[in-house]
A and B are shown apart, each in its own frame.
Chain A
Amino acid sequence: MSNVLIVGELKNGELKKISKEITSAGRKIADALGGKVTALLIGSGVEKFAGDLGAVGADSIVTVNAGDFNAETWANLVAGVIQDKKPSVVLVPHTSQGKDYSPRVAVKVGAGIVADAVGLSVDGGKVVAKKPIYSGKAYGNFKITSDVAIFTVRPNSQEVVQKAGAGATEAASPSAGDAKVKIVSSDLSGGNKVQLAEASIIVSGGRGIKGPENWPVLQGLADVLGAALGASRAAVDAGWISHSHQVGQTGKTVSPNCYIACGISGAIQHLAGMGSSKYIVAINKDGDAPIFKVATYGVVGDLFEVVPALTDEFKKVLG
């Protein structure tokens, strides 16, 4: 029997879309392997999401009552559930939390791990994970040979498919252990309204926005689209916006459905971070800018005219 465990993720008490994405992906794998899908949710009051995950293929939901995220205790809790449920495949979000606890889980349960998978298929009873490598200039396919195989999955890479599972809930209380790292304080004021690495639409600005006073032009469009605000290294290094907005090699890797690059020339380090976006819109005065080589739709024009017009047009059609 080859059962799949997915580890969901919450933000501010809400279920993240990635949780549904990996549940759907887990369902497909379980169907191919003839197994069940268990979704694990850690937090308080998480039982209420059982229906949401049942609707996209979870046969059962294991809930673990816990306080704020801490990588060490989360790793203990996830490993405890793996040891109890003995899945052969575990899917974890490739998010900042997932990246923080998944390495410890892999070592604790003696599992191999492939991180940042964008494709999951089954071949010969084993999952084959596809991941972009070398800054997206190649893709690798990997299998894991240990009894438990862990994959961290890139947000937006998996489709959410409605497919009813039983969705039965069960509470578990594995040992959280003690954390060696204590969280003293948190400052969550500097971030995006919409999380950059998981956003399905990103409006991003570069040197062409000319100064920090002009972000509202892009934020206006982002707000209409429910998009995250991104930036190129040039804009971050100029001090126009914080590093948490940076997309690219020394920033975040993103794979949105739509990436709207405004005044971004498209240096190779930037393309390394956003090249796997499904659709790319480039708005730039310089028609020879490298960004146009990867853009699905290119507009050679002044972003200060085109972006507000685009905001108005979207306001009209999106009501």
Chain B
Amino acid sequence: MKIIVLVKQVPDTETNIKVGDKSINEAGIKWIISPYDEFAIEEGLRLREKNGGEVIAVSLGPDRVQESLRQAYAMGADRAVQIKVDNYVPFDTVLTAELIANFAKAENADIIIGGRQSIDSDSSQVVIQVAEGLGIAHISFAVSLEISGTSVKATKEVEGGTQVVETSLPVAITAQKGLNEPRYPNLKGLMAAKKKPIETKTPADLGNPASKIEVVGLEPPPPRIPGRKLEAADAKGYAEQLVKALREEAKVI
């Protein structure tokens, strides 16, 4: 079973973001694997442990993404592939998906798994676009997954609850929180990961798809409505003030 896990490198949530004209200022940013992709890596490893085969971690971006690929190695990935894109626009999902789909096609992958969204763009697009590009099934927001032979059974989160769905391989999956608890890489794994090779592919190797997105510009978030702490003698006093503020000042209730 050939399993491709998608590993997107994103700024750590706690990192301060400085906005440049068309991209962020990367100086001082701590990079991490997007948290949902950690669920994807873990699930890929569990599927391999149960069904055999190999886990290929793929990340798109400049050379700094190799650090995230080494982490995937340390967790237990068998191969790591960097799709080397230096001018990386993390919001160009169609381009990203086309590159990954072309890679997955060449590898004849059975399973492609990634996080339900990345925490830098919140787009929820790439994995399902890869599925469409390959003409295969997809299951989004998976909270449980069972694969035996070529049959796939999963529970997915839907609005207001869950659904049990069935399909057969090949399949693309997006991982939702609850699917598993990602393992921590151990020291031995981290040391070994340093020596492992990282394969490199360029857009030219993968059909050179065109971008369909133009970045007009980035800006800081809009200023918040200035806040204030209310003062009152008791709970009833707070309640009266809040109701007045929300109804007469904010006019939201």
Residues on A with C-beta less than 8 A from B137 are 72, 180-181
CB distance from A99 to the nearest CB of B (A): 4
B229 in the interface, Cβ–Cβ < 8 Å?
A: yes
Q: Of B36, B167, B238, B240, which contacts A182 at CB under 8 A?
A: B167
A71 to B161, CA, bound (A): 16
CB distance from B158 to the nearest CB of A (A): 6
Q: Of A201, A243, A292, which contacts B252 at CB under 8 A?
A: A201
Q: Of B93, B122, B125, B220, which contacts A138 at CB under 8 A?
A: B220
Are A96 and B157 in touch, CB under 8 angstroms?
Answer: yes
Are A99 and B164 in touch, CB under 8 angstroms?
Answer: no
Contact with A along B29-60 (1 / 0, CB 8 A): 00000011000000000000000000000000
Are A298 and B129 in touch, CB under 8 angstroms?
Answer: no
Residue among B93, B125, B217 with the highest chain A CB neighbour number at 10 A: B125
Are A296 and B227 in touch, CB under 8 angstroms?
Answer: yes
A25 in the interface, Cβ–Cβ < 8 Å?
A: no
B221 in the interface, Cβ–Cβ < 8 Å?
A: yes
Residues on B with C-beta less than 8 A from A141 are 215-219
| Closest A residue, CB atoms, query B178 | A243
A65 in the interface, Cβ–Cβ < 8 Å?
A: no
Are A306 and B123 in touch, CB under 8 angstroms?
Answer: no
Interface residues of A in 120-172 (CB under 8 A from B): 123, 128, 131-146
Are B227 and A99 in touch, CB under 8 angstroms?
Answer: no
Number of A-B pairs whose CB atoms are under 8 Å? 270
B108 in the interface, Cβ–Cβ < 8 Å?
A: no
B189 in the interface, Cβ–Cβ < 8 Å?
A: no
Contact with A along B8-43 (1 / 0, CB 8 A): 000101101101000010000000000110000000
Complex interface: stretch among A38-46, A205-213, A250-258: A250-258
The interface size of chain A toward B, counting residues with CB under 8 Å, comes to: 95
Are A186 and B163 in touch, CB under 8 angstroms?
Answer: yes
Q: Of A134, A201, A280, which contacts B17 at CB under 8 A?
A: A134
Interface residues of A in 249-267 (CB under 8 A from B): 249-251, 253, 257-258
A138 to B240, CA, bound (A): 35
Known contacts A133-B121, A309-B235; is A75 also within 8 Å of B132 by CB?
A: yes
Are B13 and A269 in touch, CB under 8 angstroms?
Answer: yes
Are B140 and A100 in touch, CB under 8 angstroms?
Answer: yes
Are B138 and A107 in touch, CB under 8 angstroms?
Answer: no
Residue among A72, A75, A134 with the highest chain B CB neighbour number at 10 A: A134
B128 in the interface, Cβ–Cβ < 8 Å?
A: yes
Are A300 and B163 in touch, CB under 8 angstroms?
Answer: no
Q: Of B36, B91, B234, which contacts A250 at CB under 8 A?
A: B36
Residues on A with C-beta less than 8 A from B161 are 186-191, 244
Contact with B along A79-116 (1 / 0, CB 8 A): 00000000000000001110110111011100111111
Known contacts A104-B128, A142-B213; is A292 also within 8 Å of B141 by CB?
A: no
Give the interface SS of chain B, mostly helix, strand, loop or mixed: mixed
B120 in the interface, Cβ–Cβ < 8 Å?
A: yes
Residue among A135, A139, A314 with the highest chain B CB neighbour number at 10 A: A135
| Closest A residue, CB atoms, query B161 | A188
Are B160 and A312 in touch, CB under 8 angstroms?
Answer: no
B222 in the interface, Cβ–Cβ < 8 Å?
A: yes
A318 to B246, CA, bound (A): 12
B112 in the interface, Cβ–Cβ < 8 Å?
A: no
Known contacts A138-B19, A144-B212, A185-B163; is A298 also within 8 Å of B235 by CB?
A: no
CB distance from A298 to the nearest CB of B (A): 4
A244 to B143, CA, bound (A): 11
A234 in the interface, Cβ–Cβ < 8 Å?
A: no
Are A268 and B14 in touch, CB under 8 angstroms?
Answer: yes
Known contacts A104-B131, A292-B227, A313-B239; is A112 also within 8 Å of B122 by CB?
A: no
Are B133 and A250 in touch, CB under 8 angstroms?
Answer: no
**Interface residues, chain B, CB within 8 Å of chain A?**
11, 13-14, 16-17, 19, 24, 35-36, 91, 93-94, 97, 119-129, 131-133, 136-141, 153, 157-168, 177-178, 211-222, 224-230, 232, 234-236, 238-240, 242-243, 245-247, 250, 252-253
List the 9 closest A-B pairs by CB distance, nearest first.
A112-B212, A191-B160, A103-B128, A180-B137, A309-B239, A188-B161, A115-B123, A305-B235, A107-B132
Q: List 30 A-B contacts (CB under 8 A).
A: A106-B125, A107-B97, A111-B212, A115-B123, A116-B122, A133-B121, A138-B24, A139-B222, A143-B213, A145-B213, A146-B212, A180-B167, A180-B168, A182-B167, A186-B161, A187-B162, A187-B163, A190-B160, A190-B162, A244-B160, A244-B161, A249-B119, A250-B35, A251-B177, A258-B246, A294-B227, A297-B245, A310-B239, A313-B240, A313-B242
